[in-house]
Structure formats: C-alpha cells, structure tokens
Amino acid sequence: MESSRRQIEVMANLLGSNDVQAEVNRAHFRKHHCLAINVMGSPGAGKTSLLEKSLPHLCADLQVGVIEGDIFTSKDADRIAVYQVPVIQINTGGDCHLDSKMISKVLPEFDWKAMDLMVIENVGNLVCPADFDLGEAFRVIVLSIVEGDDKPAKYPVIFRNAKAVVLNKMDLEALTDVNMENMKHDILAINPDIQIFEVSCRNGNGLQAWISWLSQEVKGYQENMI
Amino acid sequence: MESSRRQIEVMANLLGSNDVQAEVNRAHFRKHHCLAINVMGSPGAGKTSLLEKSLPHLCADLQVGVIEGDIFTSKDADRIAVYQVPVIQINTGGDCHLDSKMISKVLPEFDWKAMDLMVIENVGNLVCPADFDLGEAFRVIVLSIVEGDDKPAKYPVIFRNAKAVVLNKMDLEALTDVNMENMKHDILAINPDIQIFEVSCRNGNGLQAWISWLSQEVKGYQENMI
C-alpha cells in the first residue's frame, strides 16, 4: 500500500508540474495567434501520413510548423521536411508520450512572427499521451479502422477530450471485419461533441473535409484573438 | 532536476518491486510445469485474433489458460471464453500495461493441476509493457504489417527481449506500402535471434508454423523440467 500511494502522489506531482508548463505553452501560442493541435493515436494509425497529405493544402494559405514526437529516430521529421515546413523532432529516448516541458524546450527553434498552425504529433500510443496536456488548443485522434471497431470502447480516455477523430485507412474497409457504425456509435457515446472524419490517406478520399475543417478552426481561433 | 531525479528513483523502485514479484510468478509457473508467455503489441495488432485462431489447435493436446489484460471492458475475455478455455480478464482501470502483482492476484483463480500453457495478453501498447516482467518464460510480439515497416526501428525496445514476432494481416500486404524486407531486416538488426512468423489471422495463412513452434516450445520447456 505504501509504495502504491507514493506512486500516486508522484504521478499527481508530475501532472501538476506538467499542467503549469502547459499553461505557459498555451499562453505562448495565444500570444502568437497560433492554433496548436496535439495529434495522438496508435503506432501506424497514419498520423504522419495524414500530415503529409494535408500540408500541401494547408500551406496554400497558412504558415504551418510541425513538432514530431518519437521515442527514437527522426524518420517522421524527415518525411515532413520534404514539404518545406519548419519541423523539429523530439526524441523522448524511451518515454511513451510527449510532455509540456519537452514542447517548451523546442518552441524557441521556430520563427513565430507569422505562424498560424503548430501541429504536434505525439508518440504512437493510444493510452499514455492522453494524460499530458501540452498546451494545445485541442486534440485530434487518428485511428486506423484496421485496428478494429472495439478500440474506442477499450481505450475511451483518449477520445474523451478530443475535438476530432480521423478514421483512416477507409480504403481497406471491405477487406476487414470492421463495423463502422459500431465504431462511430462507441466514439459518440464517449464524446457526443467530437467531429468524425472518414478518410483514406492512401487514395485521398475524405481528406478535403478534414483539411477545410482544420483551416476553419485556425481562422476561428485567430478571429477570436482580435 | 530535483523532480526528474525523484521520478527516476521511484520508477526504479517500482521496477524493483515488480521484478521481485515476477520471480515469484515465474517460480509458480515452473512448479506447475506451465509455460507462460507474455503477448504484446499495439492496439488492433491482432493479439486476440491470433489467440482465437490458435486455441482450437493448441487445445488438441495441451491444457491452455488465458489472462486478458485491458484498460477497460471484458471484450477480449468474452471472445476467448467461446473456446472453452479458462480465461480471466484483468482491467487495469487506466494503467497502460500489466504488472507482476496484477498477475499474481489472478493466479489462484486457475486450476494448475494439468496446465501446460498460460497465455498472458497484455494491454495494447507498443511501449510501456516492455518495461514490466510478468514472470513469463518468454515474450511474443504481434505486429500488424498495416502499421508500416518503420515501426520496429521506431519502437525497438519491445523487440529487444522477445523470442518471437508474429507479423499479422499479411492478407493486406499488396494493398499497403509496407516493405516486408525492410521490416524483417530492422527486426533482426534489433534482435538477431528472434523467430519471425508471417501470418494472416483472417485467412489462416502461416498460422500452422506459429502453432507448431509454440507447441514445441511447451514440450521443450516441460522436458527441461524433468
């Protein structure tokens, strides 16, 4: 009992400290009229692919920056750098999630004069990142439908505080046993206000609705600042 | 610095305490000549599907028990119970991994007189479960090839101490951009001794090699006990 109580206390301290820095980060993004989003999902859900497909459209009329979170390697940042956007790779070196202090350390690396949108791609993990506020304006979950329709009910916490969920790999729907109605029903049961997008990063279907929505969110955020 | 040092100390304490209980669990399995395996992988990799497809064959000449680890719901245990094997669901209630104390609590629920194989299916997570020894004889990773060939290099820790990796959803290979040679090369670079199985739980291809190998592992383990 003693050791588990100590674990809980320390976890509470860590979260408290994380939340303080997250508010500092949030104030930074607000000051620069930059919408920051925290993109989370399992390994291989398609977080980086969604970014690759969205960046050419988003960059047509927005300044976009990217923070890539991974345990090891710069594979994701290398993929994003091709699109000529400023990108910083954070390697957690073992940690299963990004935290607000990691974010604060890389903020000085960007030019904030005209930044409209900062996309933070978290470590691939459907559990732990949900506990760590990074200072984002809102969260987006990417879920590969190939993971199965039972995933929202089994991993509800991460869906609870998200503004949108992008259901990816829809091109594979007919080749899996996924029941899309069950999946969407369970997501809305956890979070009735969540926006749901059904897309295929592979064939491009559904991406326009997601991109338009995100662009509108940036504009709405910036109009509220004036 | 102070808070991060304290975090590391407490993590070390937690792991120390986990390792002590893991050895007690391992002694329990040994005493009962029961091979225990810890099955890990991302959400939706196909851990439960692999079990569903393997159990009818394994149960032909082995007594098998299953421990299902999930954050919430008993969906996986419900799927396994259909196969008439003893199964216990552990709900971690938020924790992103099983630990050895959770396992020790459910061991008295099984009849150990003739148990040959205990399959422990961990929480869907390619990161955190790797840090927690449950007392298993060895670890098996299930990786959906749809997650992409970059996953072993990005999440190397979990592959490092595993005895086998089951590459699942091979039926979808032609419909994805996965490069199987790269994936296998990176797995073997991390762990040259790992057994690799390429399977499709959906169409059954490749399952026989995995099932035969696992049956032989049980027999080898039991022969070493005599």
Say what the pLDDT of residue B139 is. Answer: 98
Grade residue A7 by pLDDT with cuts at 50, 70 and 90. low
Concatenated DSSP letters for B152-217?
HHHS-HHHHT-SEEEEE-GGGGGGS---HHHHHHHHHHH-TT-EEEE--TTT-TTHHHHHHHHHHH
Interface predicted TM-score of the whole assembly (ipTM), two decimals: 0.91
In chain B, residues with a C-beta closer than 8 Å to the C-beta of A169 are: 146
A2: confidence class by pLDDT, cuts 50, 70, 90: very low
Q: Is B171 on the interface with A (CB under 8 A)?
A: yes
Query: A71, B10: Cβ pair inside 8 Å?
Result: no
List C-alpha distances in Å: B158 to A94, A193, B199: 11, 36, 20
Q: What is the mean pLDDT of residues B28-53?
A: 98
Distance from CA of A140 to the nearest CA of B (A): 18
Each residue's pLDDT tens digit, A146-192? 999 999 999 999 999 999 999 999 999 999 999 999 999 999 999 99
Interface check for A59 against chain B (CB to CB < 8 A): the answer is: no
* Overall domain count for chain B: 1
Q: Is A43 close to B146, i.e. CB distance below 8 A?
A: no
CATH number (domain holding residue A95)? 3.40.50.300
CB B50 within 8 A of CB B58: no
The pLDDT-based confidence of B16 (bands split at 50, 70, 90) is: confident
Closest CA to A100 of A66, A71, A129, A64: A129
Closest CA to B109 of B84, B137, B87, B135: B87
Residue B14 has pLDDT above 90, yes or no: no
Residue B89 exposure: Cα atoms within 13 Å on the Cβ side: 16
Q: Do B123 and A123 touch (CB under 8 A)?
A: no
Q: Which pLDDT score, from 0 to 100, does residue A6 have?
A: 60
Output the average pLDDT for chain B.
94
Residue A11 has pLDDT above 80, yes or no: no
pLDDT digits (tens, 9 = 90+) for A66-81: 999 999 999 999 999 9
- DSSP secondary structure of A124-179: S-SSGGGG---S-SEEEEEEEGGG-TTHHHHS-HHHHT-SEEEEE-GGGGGGS---
pLDDT range class, residue A16, cuts 50, 70, 90? confident
Q: Which tokens is A104 given?
A: 């604060």
**B70 in contact with A, Cβ within 8 Å:** yes
What does the pLDDT average to over B95-117?
A: 97
Is residue B22 predicted with pLDDT exceeding 60? Answer: yes
From CA B158, how far away is CA B156, in angstroms rounded?
Answer: 6
pLDDT category of residue A3 using cuts at 50, 70 and 90? very low
State mean pLDDT over B62-73: 97
**Which chain A residues touch B72 with a CB distance below 8 Å?**
153-156
- Domain extent, residue A42, equals 2-225
pLDDT tens-place string over residues A95-138: 999 999 999 999 999 999 999 999 999 999 999 999 999 999 99
Chain B contacts in chain A segment 198-217 (CB below 8 A):
202
Of B75, B125, B176, the CB nearest to A127: B125
pLDDT band at B225; cut points 50, 70, 90: confident
Does A7 contact B6 at a Cβ distance shorter than 8 Å? Answer: no
Binary contact (B154, A73; C-beta < 8 A): yes
Give mean pLDDT, residues B114-124.
97
Global confidence as pTM: 0.93
pLDDT digits (tens, 9 = 90+) for A47-61: 999 999 999 999 999
SS3 B82: coil
Residue A1 predicted with pLDDT over 50: no
pLDDT mean over B157-178: 97
